[in-house]
Amino acid sequence: MKDFANSSYQRRKVAPNKIKIKRKPLDLGKYLRPLKTIAVVLAVVVLASGTLYGGYRAVSAITLFSLKTIEVSSAKHLTREEILGLAGVEPGKDLLRVNLKRMGEHILENPWVETVQINRYFPDGLSIVITEREPVAIVNMGFIYYLDGKANVFKVLNQGDRLDFPVVTGFSEEELGSDPKGTREALQETCGLLKILRENGAFILADVSEIHYDKGYGFTLFTSSGALPVKVGSGDFSAKVERFARIYQDLMVQLPSIRYIDLDYSDKIIIKKS
């Protein structure tokens, strides 16, 4: 066996096999350049938008047709100032930018207003023409309302409103909501009766204090003098009132002894005495 201890062979240390990798520095500019480009583009867009908006504001501020004259039709229940307040219009506004439809809708919110017509007149004029509802009676439905000649219950009475109208009873808000068609037909009959009383000579509307409606029977008038019930039923009001008018003055002499009068016949008058 070979004796390596006495051998002249010397072992050498072998350096480990290491490969050294050199890292390149990170090029941040490579990543930031696209961001800079985007930022520049955004800045240009913002600047352009601001310029365009400023130009739009400047142009829109120019009033080519400045409103100077506002004509308002005369009205019985509303003042000129109230109508203009409802319309929301005043001199100095741009006539082109005035929204006539919206203005009309605001005016119609007032219960006195039945119709409204608004027109532009270039270069600087505007006209507002309204028609108003006229009450023919007061309807007691819990709350007290005005009734116009077209059978519209249109306004709750407030302090200061006129009360010198015949009072209509027998209607209710519940029936108006549950049976609008039937209630409206009955109110139209009421208006027809009121019209006949208004146009009659001997027995006139001033002689009536109340008109009571009953769904089953029809109408009963109560006279201003003595609250005498005068039953007229439904339909043929003109003939019934005309017959009654012939004897009305004579009956007033006997008023204390009369309980009621029934006109709901085609050829006679029933006078019920106490």
Same-domain pairing of 119 and 189? no
Let me know whether 142 and 251 are in one domain: yes
Asked if residue 105 belongs to a domain, the reply is: yes
Do the Cβ atoms of 228 and 255 come closer than 8 Å? yes
pLDDT per residue over 74-133, tens digit each? 999 999 999 999 999 999 999 999 999 999 999 999 999 999 999 999 999 999 999 999
The pairs formed by 213-216 with CB atoms below 8 angstroms and a separation of 24 or more are: 213/168, 213/169, 213/170, 213/171, 213/186, 214/170, 215/170, 215/186
Q: Is the pLDDT of residue 32 over 90?
A: no
- Residues 255, 209, single domain; the answer is yes
Per cent of the chain over pLDDT 90 is: 63
- CATH number of the domain that residue 102 is part of: 3.10.20.310
Number of domains in the chain: 2
Residues 155 and 90 in one domain: no
pLDDT at 66 over 90: yes
Kindly report the CATH number assigned to the domain that includes residue 144.
3.40.50.11690
Residue that is last in its domain, among 113, 132, 151: 132
Residue 254 lies in a domain: yes
In a domain, 38, yes or no: no
Residue 204 has a pLDDT of: 79
Q: Which two tokens stand for residue 35?
A: 């961001």
203-to-37, 159, 243 alpha-carbon distances in Å: 95, 31, 10
Distance CA 84, CA 103 (A): 10
Beta-bridged to residue 94, according to DSSP, are 66
Domain that holds residue 160: 135-273
Instruction: Among 102, 132, 162, give the residue marking a domain's end.
Output: 132
Residue 102 shares a structural domain with residue 222: no
Q: Is the pLDDT score of 135 beyond 60?
A: yes
Same domain, 140 and 126: no
Which residues contact residue 203 at a Cβ distance below 8 angstroms, ignoring those fewer than 6 apart?
197, 241, 244, 245, 248
**pLDDT tens string 146-178:** 999 999 999 999 999 999 999 999 999 999 999
Same domain, 128 and 160: no
End position of a domain, from candidates 112, 132, 152: 132
In this prediction, residues 6-10 reach a mean pLDDT of 49
Predicted local distance difference test score (pLDDT) of residue 15: 52
Residues 167 and 124 in one domain: no
Same domain, 150 and 221: yes
| Domain presence at residue 220 | yes
Residue 140 and residue 104 share a domain: no
* Residue 19 belongs to some domain of the structure: no
**83 contact partners, CB below 8 Å, separation of at least 6:** 72, 75, 107, 128, 130
The answer to whether position 225 is within a domain reads yes
Q: Residue 139's pLDDT is what?
A: 98
